[in-house]
Structure 1
Amino acid sequence: MKLLTCVLVDDEPLALEVLKTHLGKLPHVHMLASFDDPFQALHFLQTQPAPDVLFLDITMPGLTGFELAPFLKSSTNLIFTTAHREFALQGFEHDAVDYLVKPVSFERLAKAVAKVVGKSSKPSAEPETFLYLKIDKAMVKVNVADIEYLESLRNYVKIKTTSRELVGYYSLTYLEEKLPAHQFLRVQKSFIINLAHVQSFTAEQVTVGQKEIPLGRQYKEDVLRWLHQKSI
């Protein structure tokens, strides 16, 4: 595995120590430098070879993370760290790979690093084009591309396509495992959406077809990150 170089920027010494401790448990990550002064960090980033990853706090005196981010070289993967969930949407507008809310756990940080590692090494696979779903007593053919969203109804799942609604005796998790992961994304506990059918979105909800679906708190970061990758 390629060694990842990283730089940490946070005006809170304790937050820096937490990140250092977590990153020290990852043998494929090498910390180049850490800064509690954003201006010193900016000077380093402009005069030294670009790190693979920058862990960047948002609320810092004199120079915020949002103000520093535009100076990064395109090869650096940006991961925001902050105590403020409400900055998530703005964070992904800066093409952040991830958005970590303090206090940052080791598991959450490791997941963010894994996203960087897998960003350019996603395996190719033949996508599913259709599925046969058991609806009542019949096996019904459903084109995957036509599915707009799936909604959990306790022991059943409603499958909304561009032309009809089907209800089958499935769990949402079971169907999630059968659908292409690059195309379908869970946006809350009861909904999985087809990203190709997203008509619009805000920081709080997505509109899929004619359906407005609120974003669940634990899924919001991944959903907004993907959608902003498609924004111009």
Structure 2
Amino acid sequence: MTQAIPRRSGEWILVVEDEPRLREALAELLVRMASDFGEVVVAASGEDALALCRDASPSVAFLDIRLPGMSGLQLAEVIADETRIVFVTAHQEFAVDAFEQGAVDYLLKPVTAERLQACLDRLRRRDRAAAGELQKFLRAFSAPSPPTYLRWLTASAGRRTYLIEVDDIVYLKSDSKYTRLVCRDSQHLIEESLKKIVGRLDPERFRQIHRSTVVNLREVLLVERDDTATGTGLVKFRNHPEVVRISAPYLRELRMFLV
């Protein structure tokens, strides 16, 4: 629940946290330890916090990163020009070092009095961060991470479990609810459908050539069209003698891709 704020020129602290217990605990610590920063005001969502900031910006905002609706990162981008930002989260992610070295601080839940004191001391020592520097950190943190694709698959046979490097796979073929992995020197059957695996493979490396077959493009030697009028073809590999069929919808796309 938000607390109404009259129009003011003095300093105040904003706490935005959707979990009531954590919100009140942090607010109580700040009332005791940060009276020189002004009144402590709380909000349960980014939208509520924005409403509180319409008349006056807080000097410091303690923002939970994961909030319903508008995230703490999105809120920070709106208010950062006038406000020093401290992110509060239960997840220690890749940007921690950037925040620690930059203009914003970063607190892990549950926030301890000792860690909060260090944060407040830092805020007291520093001037307000330049908007450009803060925006740089925000962009680095909120930019989408590059997709990560499968590097390994495991296949079990009796009491043995094989670790298969995706780069060694020549092609994958659907086999009912299983998938057959055909490698240069071996074959394996795994209990996972081809449909589920395809979405986790690098599309620049693996292409579907049939509704039941996906090939490793680095292993493809050539694509050959049939003499018939079916529009289908054959795929031959560099390091494997087997030949697999390519259906008509995929033939033109794959031939153009390999040119």
TM-score (norm 2): 0.41
Q: Which has the higher contact order (CA 8 A, sep 6+)?
A: 1
TM-score, normalised via structure 1 length: 0.46
Larger Rg: 2
